[in-house]
DNA sequence: GTACAATCTGTAGTGACTACAGAATCAAGG
DNA sequence: CCTTGATTCTGTAGTCACTACAGATTGTAC
């Protein structure tokens, strides 16, 4: 087993292309402590290994699932402690799921109200629109 | 007709209590030009009349309906020009409505994926959880 | 050697507020 | 008149998750 630098190390640009993240975002994740500061090449450019590529994939997937960076930070701490279990993922995802369902319900309520407004404004052919008037007044 | 200050003018705190907005938010709306700079009392405190109360109600209602401050700015410009019609409200609300519907659809897709993940992680009683593994890898 | 691409650091902008700090003003009770 | 406590004033910075620069340096291909 040699201890020399792996030939599989890649630049930040290659990492970004691989995972679909932007270069600036990767540096941002490093700044806020989600990604560890990687080793640098002679000129100061960052070099990433397989572990960091996998870590960024984890972040990307979790973000895509709508987890906040704080949620992800929590999960990654468990990863770093080597104690992340299915149970942890289950708990975090369940909480997240009910938040999502709440947001869907909120938006659906909003949709009904807006739909009603659109409907009433559509047919509002009278000179003074009661819908507009109502917007300017305290709710009854 | 007297030209003295109306007795119905209220402070920013009273305005906030009336409409349910926060004092800071009212000042914020003034700063970004949604609310006009009101006249001041002797000591420099803001005084609001009925017109501004109605204007703030409009903003509150529109925000509650999920319109962006930019949307609201647009509508209020028409109000200031005295040309706001039911048609304008209809157009703006329709656009907004389809954006809301798009977001609902996005969240519902997300809900399905998350639900599936929760489901699989729930039953994942094997030592190595394939769900977690998948989170660390490029999508296949 | 010379382009040109990629990377570096640091800072500021987004939306819609919210949260202070520190000073001034106002309203009520004694 | 004076004090106390609430309210208001201005200005600035923080939130979230990036994104977009500027200006300097480094890496790479010909």
Instruction: Please answer yes or no on whether A121 and B93 come within 8 Å at the CB atom.
Output: yes
Contact between A90 and A96 under an 8 Å Cβ cutoff? The reply is no
User: What are the chain B neighbours of A86 within 8 Å (beta carbons)?
Assistant: 121, 124-125, 129, 131-132
Report residue A17 as tokens: 């292309």
Q: Hey, is the C-beta of A41 within 8 angstroms of any chain B C-beta?
A: no
Minimal Cα distance from B109: which residue of A? A65
Instruction: Please answer yes or no on whether B97 and A84 come within 8 Å at the CB atom.
Output: no
Report pLDDT for B124. Answer: 65
Per-residue pLDDT at B135 exceeds 80? yes
B39-49 pLDDT per residue, tens:
999 999 999 99
How far, in Å, CA of B140 to CA of B134, rounded?
9
Higher pLDDT, B125 or B96: B96
Q: Hey, is the C-beta of A51 within 8 angstroms of any chain B C-beta?
A: no
Mutate: best of A71, A134, A135, partner B, most B CBs <10 A = A135
A34-50 pLDDT per residue, tens:
999 999 999 999 999 99
Higher pLDDT, B6 or B47: B47
In which element (H, E) is residue B22 found? none
- A137–chain B nearest CA distance, Å: 6
Q: Report residue B130's pLDDT band, with 50, 70 and 90 as the boundaries.
A: confident
Per-residue pLDDT at A21 exceeds 50? yes
Q: Which residues 112-131 of B have a C-beta within 8 angstroms of A?
A: 113-115, 117-118, 121-122, 124-125, 129, 131
Arithmetic mean of pLDDT, B45-74: 97
Question: DSSP per residue over B86-100, as a string?
Answer: HHHHHHHHHHHHHHH
Report residue A44 as tokens: 């100061």
Mutate: best of B16, B93, B116, partner A, most A CBs <10 A = B93
User: What are the chain B neighbours of A117 within 8 Å (beta carbons)?
Assistant: 65, 89, 93
Arithmetic mean of pLDDT, B20-43: 97
How far, in Å, CA of B24 to CA of B30, rounded?
10
Report pLDDT for A23. Answer: 97
Q: Report residue A129's pLDDT band, with 50, 70 and 90 as the boundaries.
A: confident
Per-residue pLDDT at A126 exceeds 60? yes
Residue with tokens 């048609």: B87
How far, in Å, CA of A128 to CA of A117, rounded?
15
Arithmetic mean of pLDDT, B85-107: 95
Report pLDDT for B125. Answer: 63
Strand partners, A91: none
User: What are the chain B neighbours of A97 within 8 Å (beta carbons)?
Assistant: 111, 114-115, 118
Arithmetic mean of pLDDT, B68-89: 95
**Residue B53: how many CB atoms within 10 A of its CB?**
19
Per-residue pLDDT at B58 exceeds 60? yes
Strand partners, B46: B40
Report pLDDT for A123. Answer: 73
């Amino acid at each position: 087993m040699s201890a020399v630098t792996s030939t599989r190390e890649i630049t930040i640009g290659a990492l970004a292309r691989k995972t679909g993240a932007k270069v600036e975002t990767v540096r941002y994740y490093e700044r806020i402590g989600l990604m560890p500061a990687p080793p640098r090449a002679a000129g100061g450019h960052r070099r990433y290994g397989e572990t960091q590529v996998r870590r960024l994939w984890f972040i990307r997937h979790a973000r895509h699932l709508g987890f906040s960076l704080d949620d992800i930070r929590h999960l990654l701490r468990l990863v770093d402690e080597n104690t992340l279990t299915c149970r942890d993922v289950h708990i975090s995802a369940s909480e997240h799921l009910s938040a999502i369902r709440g947001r869907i319900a909120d938006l659906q309520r909003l949709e009904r109200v807006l739909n009603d407004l659109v409907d009433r404004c559509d047919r509002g052919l009278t000179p003074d629109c009661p819908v507009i008037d109502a917007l300017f007044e305290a709710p009854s």
